[in-house]
Amino acid sequence: MATKLLFLITFTSAFFHLVAQDNPIILPAEEPKLVNLDYDTDLLPKEFFEKNRNELRQLMPNNSVAVLFANPIRNRSNDVDYEYHQDPNFFYLSGLREPHAVILIFKEVQNFGNGVKTDELLFLQKRDSKNELWTGKRQGTEGAKEFLGIKSAFTGEEFAGFETELNSFEHILITSLPDDVRNSDNKDDLFNLINSFQLKTEKSTDKIDDSSLNKMMAQLRQIKSDEEIVLLKKAIEMTCDAQIELMKALKPGMTEYQSEAIVEYVFKKNGAEYPGFPSILGGGENTCILHYTSNRKPLNGKDLLVSDIGAEYHGYTADVTRTLPTDGVFSEEEKIIYNIVYEAQKAGIAKCKPGNKFWDPHNAATEIISTKLMELGIIDKKYKVRDYFMHGTSHYLGLDVHDAGLYSPLEKGNVITVEPGIYIAEGSDCDPKWWNIGVRIEDDILITGDEPINLSEKAPRTIEEIETLMKEESKFED
C-alpha cells in the first residue's frame, strides 16, 4: 500500500537513518542559521504555493504520486553557465528557485511512522557555507519549511537512500525528465536525483504517466490568481515603459542593438530580473522575420522597426509588440498596412470574452486581414492570407511567455496575447511598393467576467499617438 512507504537511509552526519516504520528517526545535522533569501517585498506568499499543491491533489487520481524535478543548470561555454531559471511547473508548486531538487506530491497522506505523516516531500541542496560563498545563500531544508511552507524537506543526498516503494502506487505522474544534465562530483546534483528516480521506478515503468500531469498543470496555470495578475501587471507596465522610451529615442542611424539596449535598460531599471524571452528588434527587411533576435542591423530613415519585447518580473513575463517608423513618420504604404493590423487586433480583442473559443480572436483578425489584402490586390484568394500572416493570434501568458494552457474556451482569469501581423518580404508576389513592410501589434489581455481588459494599453498603438510621442525628447538622446 502507498501508506506503507519505507525509507532506507544510510546514516551520515548530514542525514538520518530510517530502516522501517517502527524505528526512531535520527534527525539531520543542524543547518546554519535560517536566512530569508528575499530582498523583494512583493513575492508570492508561501500560501500561494500550498494552494497550488492542494489544487493539484484534487486533480490527481487515487493512489498516485506526482514527481517534478527542478530545471538543470545549463552550460553556456566552458565553465560559464547561463543565469539559472527554474522550471515553471516546479516553481508553481514549490516556490523554490534553486537547481538540484525534486518534489514528490502524494494524493493521500503517507504515514511513515514515528509521527511522520506527510503528503509532500521536497529534496533540495543542503546548506554549504563553502559553496554559498561562490553562488549565494541556499534555502536549505529548514528554510524550505519556514519560508516556502513545505511540510517535509530533506537534502538531495538523502533521496538516493530513500527506498521508496513507488511500485505500490498505481500512478507515478511526471512531466518529463530534465535534459542537458551534466554529471559531476557533487553528490546532490540533478544527475544523481534523476538516476535514483530511474532506479526506483525500473520495475514499475508501466505505472509511469508522462502526459496526465502536463494536462493537470496546464489546467491550473491557465487561470491566473489575483496574486499572479498583480505580478503580471508589473511586468507589463515595465514593458510598456520600455516601448515608450524607445519611441522617444528611436532615430535613423541607430542600430537594432541600441534599441535593444534601451528597452532592456528600462527593464532592469524598473526591477525586472530578465527579459522574458530574447528581445526582438527587427528593422527593415528584418520586420518580416517573426522571431528575429540577431539585432545587429543599422537602421535607416526608411525602415520600420518591430519591437517585440517582454520584461520578466518574479517569474512572470509580459509580451508586448509595437511597430515604429525609424524616422518618426509612417509612409503612406506603411499606414495602410499598419491600420489593417490595428483594425484586426481590435476585432480580435473584442472576441476575448468568457465562453468564446480560444481561436475566435484569431479568426476575427484573419477575416479582416484577408479581406483587406484582397482589396489591395496583394492576394487574390482569401486562403493566401497565410503567405503574409503565418502565425496564430493568441497564446497564454504567465510563467512562460507561451504559457501552459488547454486552449479550451476562454475563462475568467485567462491572460492571453492578441497579436495579428502582416509581413510582406522582398520578392513577394505583389507590387514592390509593399516589400519589406512588416507590422505586428501585440497586447496582453485579461479575460474577465465581462469586457476584456488590455493590460498593456499604456504603450501607444495608433499611428497618431506613436508619431506624436516620437517627437518628444528622450533621456537617451545622446
Active-site residue numbers?
79, 291, 308, 319, 391, 395, 402, 419, 423, 440, 442
DSSP letter for each residue of 107-153: EEEEE-STT-EEEEEEEEPPP-HHHHHHH----HHHHHHHHS--SSE
What is d(CA 310, CA 364) in angstroms, rounded to the nearest whole number?
25
Residue reference for cell 538531495: 156
DSSP 333: H
What is d(CA 272, CA 17) in angstroms, rounded to the nearest whole number?
44
State how beta strands 75-77 and 316-317 pair. Answer: unpaired
The residues facing 281 across adjacent strands are 307
Phi and psi angles of residue 104, each rounded to the nearest 5 degrees, phi first: -115, 125
Residue reference for cell 485567462: 414
Residue reference for cell 502565425: 391
What is d(CA 474, CA 423) in angstroms, rounded to the nearest whole number?
29
DSSP letter for each residue of 45-83: PHHHHHHHHHHHHHHSPSSEEEEEEPPPP-EEETTEEPP
**Cell for 246?**
524607445
Contact by Cβ (8 Å): 122, 154: yes
Phi and psi angles of residue 165, each rounded to the nearest 5 degrees, phi first: -85, 65
**Cell for 1?**
500500500
The residues facing 106 across adjacent strands are 65
